[in-house]
Amino acid sequence: MDGKPTRAESEPDPVLSFVETGELEPRPRLLVDRLLFARVLLQASAVLAPRFQLGECAAAHHIVLGGPGAGLAASERLIAFGFRVEPSVDPPGIRFFLTSSHSEGEIRALLVAITIVVRELAVESGPASASSRHKSRAMQHAGSK
């Protein structure tokens, strides 16, 4: 080795983009198939189904999280998994757009990554949130005496 970085060391991992491009969909029938495929997976997921909301267009999908901060954290973690999505403020969480260029495997992989991230965020915020609620109730109870 001559000290130069190898290709694997110098290039970042590829990132699949699921953000809005504003371009017209070149294969609308294939897009409909991809949308139906994604909806079946979303509705079958115990983690994602209760958090799923359709966006302003058929290709837009929202996963509602605890707040805008959670959406930013989730989008950053998903980049580490190789997926670019957008944090959203209304509703608070993340949003992603599907196109006919996304394969079923890419859509499935994205939804698996989102499920992992949602679970991680729930674990991280769970004990702290429960602890905060417990402290708040304790303070209210102490104040009423």
What are 45-98's pLDDT values in tens digits? Answer: 999 999 999 988 889 999 999 877 999 999 999 999 999 999 999 899 999 999
Contact between 100 and 28 (Cβ < 8 Å): yes
pLDDT at 137: 40
Which residues lie below 8 Å from residue 82, measured CB to CB, with a gap of 6+? 13, 14, 15, 16, 113
pLDDT at 135: 42
Peptide bond between residue 91 and the one before it cis (omega within 30 degrees of 0):
yes
CB atoms within 10 A of CB 22: 5
The CA-based diameter of the chain, rounded to the nearest angstrom, is 75
Does domain 13-143 fall under CATH 3.20.20.70? My reply is no
Compute the distance between CA of residue 122 and CA of residue 65 in angstroms, rounded to an integer.
Answer: 9
pLDDT at 112: 97
Rounded mean pLDDT of the chain? 83
Listed by start position, the domains of the chain span 13-143
Phi, psi at 66, each rounded to 5° = -65, -25
Q: What is the pTM of this model?
A: 0.78
